[in-house]
Chain A
């Protein structure tokens, strides 16, 4: 057997490890071993590469690169707070894009006869992912305004940049003397600049509330960039892994869009968040019933089945720990407690689940939208903690509401709905929630953490 065949078999083994690794993510019980399997796959791919036949590597440089990357990666992985996961994923998407763009650039500079279209495709997607991800990071972190930043002619500008890039990639000869390497080289540099600009241009008009969609999409791009680089190098490991990540990102993008009842085109070109939705604000008089925590505790005491609906506000207040204590106490009294998790409850796909897992909530009581909605029918109390738009029944029937059609948690079907809010301020979409005025709804105003601490005391005393 030729040496190169052994290398390729090792790449195949690593691809299989990635596939089986992701497969084990289908259940929390097996997920951790799956991640380990994937990392083993990566190790095999690296070993296969370091022993690549016929290549004389500069091991000093490789070792120093790996050392620097390892230290930075370690710091990221151990320091990041769970509430900051979206920012970290955004950065990693950007680095993934950058890595692919760098690899393709290096390949082009060392062998100028590489297929120009593939070089550009890889560099283009990679660079766009890089700047797009860092803008997304800036928005999530609050460095850049989370509001949609728009200006007149923005979409036309983006379209021109995109069109220009495509024409340079497909026909550099139109712009430069393509017969000579220098012409290609100029085209290559211009494509990089255009892609970096387009990454910024496409991300700044997207509002903070839509960031879960954007980071999912950029996640997909980082995979596609790796696959494109795989085409350039003729390397199966890159193609297979890249397409796995690309598919994963696209699926998550789709799920997030469905969770908000928006099309992908609407998220990218719609620039919601800047739009001050005055529609549907026909302020009807609502009969708000404000209760004390003592009264809320008594209602919970009489209940048998309780569903907690956490929103992102709960995590921001770091109140998920005391919420779990309340749930534990109620469970110890023989009550059934479940958690209803809306797909867009956090700042990225599955974010709320991680935040609750961190607070030691058992994963089998975390229920997604489809699982939990039938459960509200025979539920005694739905306890809403910092969620708003995702429990607004107007999404089901009020066609004039900006959130009409969005899948929601049907909390209003429960016997009693207890809503904890700081004040009567409307949620992200700027819509007043008619649920608050329902006959079976009661409000308990106050900071989530303080309210839950009081509630915990009251429940224990009863």
Chain B
């Protein structure tokens, strides 16, 4: 695959700025759900894991991909669910 490193860096830097803007607006009350939610989002490695599990791939890279897939899925499923469990508790009388 032809990868243009400069455009990747552009995306990276812009995303960091966006992240900075929106995360600074999260109130301290919600910092724990923010963390568990970002655990779930860092489970985006699930994408890379799936891409590593190919029929014609070598066995080593396939099974390392499987290990990645399990770790990432735990993060995604566990992260989003536990965040929801917490956010459900935040109520206003």
A residues neighboring B (CB under 8 Å): 15, 18-19, 21-23, 25-29, 31-32, 35-36, 38-39, 42, 45-46, 48-50, 52, 55-58, 61-62, 64-66, 68-70, 72-74, 76-78, 80, 82, 85, 88-89, 92-93, 95-96, 98-100, 102-107, 109-110, 215-216, 219, 222-223, 225-227, 229-231, 233-249, 251-252, 255, 341, 343, 346, 348-351, 353-354, 357-358, 360, 362-364, 366, 368
Residue in A27, A58, A99, A348 whose CB lies within 8 Å of B32: A348
Report, nearest first, the 5 A-B pairs whose CB atoms are least far apart.
A69-B73, A350-B31, A73-B77, A247-B19, A102-B68
- Pairwise interchain contact B39-A354, C-beta atoms closer than 8 A: no
On chain A, the residues within 8 Å of B32 by CB distance are 85, 89, 346, 348-351, 353-354
- Pairwise interchain contact B18-A19, C-beta atoms closer than 8 A: yes
Known A243-B19, A357-B86; contact A65-B49, beta-carbon cutoff 8 A: yes
- Pairwise interchain contact B12-A103, C-beta atoms closer than 8 A: no
Question: How far apart are B9's CB and chain A's nearest CB, in angstroms?
Answer: 8
Interface residues on B, range: 35 or more
Contact with A along B9-45 (1 / 0, CB 8 A): 0011001101110111111111111111111111111
Question: How far apart are B77's CB and chain A's nearest CB, in angstroms?
Answer: 3
Residue contacts A-B, CB under 8 angstroms, 21 given: A22-B22, A22-B23, A27-B27, A56-B54, A56-B55, A57-B54, A58-B57, A78-B81, A89-B32, A102-B49, A102-B65, A106-B52, A219-B38, A231-B12, A233-B48, A242-B44, A247-B15, A247-B20, A249-B35, A357-B90, A362-B91
- Pairwise interchain contact A68-B90, C-beta atoms closer than 8 A: no
Chain B interface main SS type: helix
B residues neighboring A (CB under 8 Å): 1, 3, 5, 8, 11-12, 15-16, 18-20, 22-58, 60-62, 64-93
Residue in A50, A106, A244 whose CB lies within 8 Å of B68: A106
Chain A interface main SS type: helix
On chain B, the residues within 8 Å of A32 by CB distance are 84, 87-88
Residue in B23, B57, B74 whose CB lies within 8 Å of A248: B23
- Pairwise interchain contact A229-B45, C-beta atoms closer than 8 A: yes
- Pairwise interchain contact B64-A105, C-beta atoms closer than 8 A: yes
- Pairwise interchain contact B89-A238, C-beta atoms closer than 8 A: no
